[in-house]
Homo-oligomer: A and B are copies of this chain.
Amino acid sequence: MKFLVHMDVNLPVDMPAEQAAELKATEKAYSQELQRSGKWPEIWRVVGEYANWSVFDVETNDELHDLLQNLPLFPYMDITVVPLAKHPSDVK
């Protein structure tokens, strides 16, 4: 079941550089693990913004919420979730 997810990151400008670097490293590891598992099949950077549009592929709403609230950057992000259905013109 696919969901389009928008994540907008707002780190406090006064967060120590080291803490920010660590947070981002943990976030990256977590994201890549989910990508490799097939749960997070697409992630794109929005040009000019510290934000991404992603596609998630999960079994239930509960599973999606779980994955998202465990993002290391979760407390610093505004997240929007769009449930997707198969499009009748889709050739796949």
A residues sitting closer than 8 Å to B (CB atoms) are: 1-5, 11-14, 27-28, 31-32, 35-36, 42-50, 52-53, 55, 60-62, 64-66, 68-69, 75-76, 79-92
In the A-B complex, the 5 residue pairs with the smallest Cβ-Cβ separation, listed nearest first, are A65-B85, A44-B84, A48-B79, A47-B83, A48-B81
A14, A46, A79 — which one has the most chain B CB atoms within 10 A of its CB?
A: A46
Instruction: Verify B13–A75 contact, CB threshold 8 A.
Output: yes
Interface secondary structure of A, over-half rule: mixed
Instruction: Verify A89–B27 contact, CB threshold 8 A.
Output: yes
Q: What is the total number of copies of this protein in its complex?
A: 10
Which of chain B's residues have a CB closer than 8 A to the CB of A43? 87, 89-90
